[in-house]
Chains A and B, each alone.
Chain A
Amino acid sequence: MAETLYAPGRPETGGRSGVATMKKIEAIIRPEKLDEVRKAIEDVGYPGITITEAEGHGKQKGITQQWRGETYRVEFLPKVKLELVVSDADVERIIKAIISSAKTGAVGDGKIFVSDIREVVKIRTGERGESAI
């Protein structure tokens, strides 16, 4: 059912039913992994991507640096946040591609968050729904 609601060619129905058929994948990754992750998701196909240089930490917290005899904590480490909005059907492939390319096995590899997207509007054409992503 969901697939047909947001099928290309039926933008007029987008968003009104409240039934989400698209997902936003947000992945916080190591900055040095960005190129590999982008290549990996390119191989499985993706509609578009936004990246943000971010700072943060997980349970492992920050790192200690030193300056002329004194140490100080850098609590927020540089990360990159990727955001992609994709059809439900593409979610698992892209998650797998991100995991396989972003993983080093050490703490600090990051996280992936998946959330429902209720509406997408393409600014240039006014298209809505899956055809707009």
Chain B
Amino acid sequence: MDPKVVADTLWVLITAMLVFFMNLGFACVESGFCRSKNAVNILSKNFVVFAISTIGFWWLGFGLMFGNGSPFWGSEGLWILGGADNSPATADAYQGAYGSLNWTGVPLLAKFFFQLVFCGTAATIVSGAVAERIKYFSFIVFSLLITAVIYPVVGHWIWGGGWLASKGFLDFAGSTQVHSIGGWAALAGILVLGPRIGKYNKDGTPNAIPGHNLSLGLIGCFVLWLGWFGFNPGSTMAADVEAISRICVTTNTAAAFAIATATITSVLLLGKPDLGMTINGCLAGLVAITAPCAFVSVQSSAIIGALAGVIVVFSVIMFDKLHVDDPVGALSVHLVNGVFGTLCVGLFAESQWMPNKANGLFFGGGVTQLGAQALGVVSAAAAVFTLSLVAWLAIKAIMGVRVSVQEEIQGLDIGEHGNSAYPDFVVRKTLPVSAGAFAASPAPTKG
């Protein structure tokens, strides 16, 4: 076996496994940011959504996205990976139904598994935004629609050799393909659902609805950050040592700068470095660097991350004021920064790393790439938002989308699942101890 195929396949599978682990990160962030009475429901959604993604993407999604076909959708090898394939042959040597992935020299099932975990990520973004009020089975039906149809169709335009790819649109690891698609679908869901009971007062002012466990929230954030080292560097789909090292560092640098600027913005705007907000900051930086991670320098990634950390704080406050009730900040993180990150390719890209050798606006390349990026942002938005809105409205008409008022107040854990997340979890408060209870600290002694 060709050692390059071995190395590439190992790299693709291991990074795919890291991205799979992000399901846990989403489950932790989302359940931690919501109230304990809805914890079982949120954990269940994050659990089942990967099962649904696997079924939907295997059944139809992969073929629709990567099968040879028109510029708008794939049609060859449509069902259950059934097309002809001679992977890991590449380029002209590849003969099969999934020609748009002929640039990576790994077996078909490695390509499938890597693409599947990305599709699962887009679907799981929706979960947090619609939390604390959506019917469990309505969410499952939407998850099947997004993973089998909506994500793959737009994915065909972007990564499946479709019309957006032909226009020069570039989205290396999915600021648009994964994060904005998840975000637009989530926005449509939020608009159909309406805000949670108690979120807005009669005069329209928003209330805080604090989450129940910030420890869980931060565990989730770190799990996602770790997963991103699979998400971005893995999108090379090859063990290209120079590229994966640089992408790893651009990814991390953007997250670090975003945490720093989200902290500063939170202090200036809100008075304190709100942890929920700085966690959103970290994720915003990671989303923003996802599209440009391979095309920009480490210095540029710092600027992109720094801007993302500021944008996310203003965005959370803006959505709150607009009565778009997003319990976990999914829109601010994935939608807003997915758009921002996608545009950053047109601003910060440097020709030495670009497949089409184009420079971004800030590196003397003019607005050509920026125009292609904007076209991608707008068309993905229009398609995903419209398809999702239709899907949500159909689900609402057929099976209902929102739980009863009584169930929402009692919590979805009992109503949807008959479970309670913490049935015999008794908190024994450790009483705080005042400084006066202790003797003065002894002087340090040499010993």
Q: Which residues of A contact B432 (CB under 8 A)?
A: 31-32
Tell me if B436 is interfacial: C-beta within 8 Å of chain A: yes
Contact flags B180-215 to A (C-beta < 8 A → 1, else 0): 000000000000000000000000001111110000
Closest A residue by C-beta to B326: A68
Instruction: Please choose the segment from A33-41, A87-95, A115-123 that sits at the chain B interface, where 4 or more of its residues have CB less than 8 A away.
Output: A33-41
User: With A68-B274, A68-B316, A69-B277 in contact, do A80 and B431 touch (Cβ < 8 Å)?
Assistant: yes
B426: Cβ under 8 A from any A Cβ: no
Q: How far is the CA of A80 from the CA of B433 in the complex (A)?
A: 13
Chain B, interface size category, equals: 20 to 34
Question: Which residues from B are CB-within-8-Å of A31?
Answer: 429, 431-432
A70 interfacial by beta-carbon distance below 8 Å: yes
Chain A residues, CB < 8 A from B277: 68-69
> By the criterion CB–CB under 8 Å, are B437 and A36 in contact?
yes
A-chain residues with CB within 8 Å of residue B313 when the two chains form the complex:
69
Q: Are A66 and B433 in contact (CB under 8 A)?
A: no
B276 in the interface, Cβ–Cβ < 8 Å?
Answer: yes
Given known pairs A68-B276, A68-B277, A80-B431, the reply for A36 and B208 (CB within 8 Å) is no
Is B329 in the interface zone, CB < 8 Å from A?
A: yes
**Which of A67, A69, A80 is the one whose CB lies under 8 Å from B211?**
A67
The contact of B316 among A34, A53, A69, A71, by CB within 8 Å, is A69
In the assembly, what is the distance between CA of A33 and CA of B208, in Å?
Answer: 31
Contact (Cβ within 8 A) B437 A69? no
Query: Count of A-B contacts with CB under 8 A?
Result: 60
Q: What distance in Å separates the Cβ of A52 from its nearest Cβ neighbour in chain B?
A: 12
Measured as residues with beta carbon below 8 angstroms from the partner, the interface class of chain A is 10 to 19
In the assembled complex, A30 has its CB within 8 A of some CB on chain B: yes
Contacts of A70 in B (CB 8 A): 206-208, 320
Q: Are A32 and B270 in contact (CB under 8 A)?
A: no
By a CB distance below 8 angstroms, the chain A residues around B274 are 66-69
Q: Which of A66, A68, A71, A104 contacts B329 (CB 8 A)?
A: A68
Interface centre among A32, A68, A78 (most CB of B within 10 A): A68
Q: Who on chain A is nearest to B430 by CB? A: A31
Q: Which residues of A contact B272 (CB under 8 A)?
A: 66
- Contact pattern, B 266-286, Cβ under 8 Å of A = 1, otherwise 0: 000111101011001000000
CB distance from A107 to the nearest CB of B (A): 16
CB–CB B429/A68 < 8 A: no
Q: In whole angstroms, what is the CA distance A124 to B210 when docked?
A: 47
The 8 A CB mask of A56-68 against B (1 = contact, 0 = none) is 0000000001111
A71 CB contacts on chain B under 8 angstroms: 208
A selection of 25 A-B contacts at a CB cut-off of 8 Å is A30-B434, A31-B432, A32-B434, A35-B431, A53-B429, A65-B208, A66-B270, A66-B271, A66-B272, A66-B274, A67-B210, A67-B274, A68-B33, A68-B208, A68-B280, A69-B208, A69-B277, A69-B316, A69-B317, A70-B320, A71-B208, A72-B207, A72-B210, A80-B431, A104-B434
Q: A32-B434, A67-B276, A68-B274 are in contact. List 10 more A-B contacts (CB 8 A).
A: A66-B274, A68-B280, A68-B316, A68-B329, A69-B270, A70-B206, A70-B208, A72-B207, A72-B208, A104-B434
Closest 4 interchain pairs by CB? A70-B208, A32-B432, A67-B208, A72-B208
Residues of B within 8 A of A (CB): 33, 206-211, 269-272, 274, 276-277, 280, 313, 316-317, 320, 329, 429, 431-434, 436-437
Interface residues, chain A, with chain B CB atoms under 8 Å away: 30-36, 53, 65-72, 78, 80, 104
